[in-house]
Amino acid sequence: MTNLLLDLPPLSAARFASIEDRVARLLGTGQDVLVTQGEALLPLEGAIRAAAGPGTTALNVITGPYGQTFGDWLRDCGATVIDLTVPFHTAVTAEQVRDAFTEHPEIDFVSLVHAEAATGNTNPVAAIGEVVREHGALFYLDAVASVGAEPVLPDAWGVDLCVIGAQKAMGGPAGVSAVSVSERAWARMAANPHAPRRSYLSLLDWKERWIDGGRKALLHAPAQLEMLALEACLERIEAEGLDAVMARHASAAATTRAGASALGGGIAPYVHDAADAAPVATTLRAPDGTTASDLVARALAADPELPLAAGGGALAREMIRVNHYGPDATRGTVRACLAALATALTDAGVRVDLA
């Protein structure tokens, strides 16, 4: 059989570099940008293992499950970890980060998730970045869920390691991701004897053999289809306009919150304050006497294509997630999700106002 996705000519180094340049423009950054060949967990872990070690004192902000994962990686690297945990229905504040520095002035690394799609909150990175810069710490940011849904500005915010993925608000592939790296971060990695080398996790290998070599020879055969999909995704965002893409997500989030409140019956936004709610996805609290996973199963039984999910782990009982991102950041998708949830609630004996 023949297929347009098969028998493609090899991706050249120049084409690969041009895609990296488009990612840099998306982020408005003058930092080095690496497109890494794997889902975003690859650069997320690689960046922590490269920049942190036994001499590191890390402030790890936890506003959802990914923050918990980062703390595990940091401890595994031998770092001293100070966890700053806030309830998942809210966001961390710059004042809380400042208080942590006051109590632990030895902090030299801060890890933060911008938007937690799993819990539906988003954190004020710009304000937190000012505090981190004041204390000279290295700033690591997971912007996988936020990029495309809200501004992500590594240079303006003083972010040293900013990891993004294309599979959520960007509406692109999951098999490649990217990280922007400041000069301070490269220096920290180079000075870290525990940083991965000759490893798929190694960012330093890419710097020395790709960036320092003028981006003329790739380290290995790239993920061809994923790279082309990322290029197409970036072209689509450029054509629509990043501001328009972000506006779609903000509108979808606001519509979901308003629609859920209008349904009544006890269903309500999980994140209390709209200012703390992520535009990439909206989480809802299931009414008393119902189970979120049951309501989602009922809704999906009628339409399996709806971007609905129950919360993970213990949150499966109380949290419903409307994943209105990428091509699903539309009014029609939101209306369909709310209508399906209204039917599921009615079937469960909860009175709602669908009209």
Q: Is 321 annotated as a binding residue?
A: yes
Torsion of CA 114, 255, 329, 39, to 10 degrees: 30
Query: DSSP class of residue 331?
Result: H
> What tokens does 217 get?
């020879």
Q: Please list, in sequence order, all residues whose beta carbon lies within 8 angstroms of the beta carbon of residue 8, skipping any fewer than 6 positions away.
A: 224, 225, 228
d(CA 248, CA 252): 6
DSSP 8-state symbol, 54:
T
Looking at the chain, how many residues does it have? Answer: 355
Q: How far apart are CA 299 and CA 309, in angstroms?
A: 10
Query: Maximum Cα–Cα distance for the chain, whole Å?
Result: 65
Residue 61: both structure tokens together: 């902000």
Alpha helices, H only, the chain: 13-27, 41-51, 65-76, 94-103, 125-135, 154-157, 183-190, 203-206, 224-240, 242-263, 292-302, 331-347
Q: Where are the alpha helices (DSSP H) in 146-215?
A: 154-157, 183-190, 203-206
Phi, psi (deg, nearest 5) at residue 310: -85, 160
52 by DSSP, 3-state: which? coil
| Separation of alpha carbons 213 and 134, rounded Å | 34
CA-nearest of 233, 284, 237, 228 to 261 is 284
Binding residues for substrate: 321
Binding residues: 321
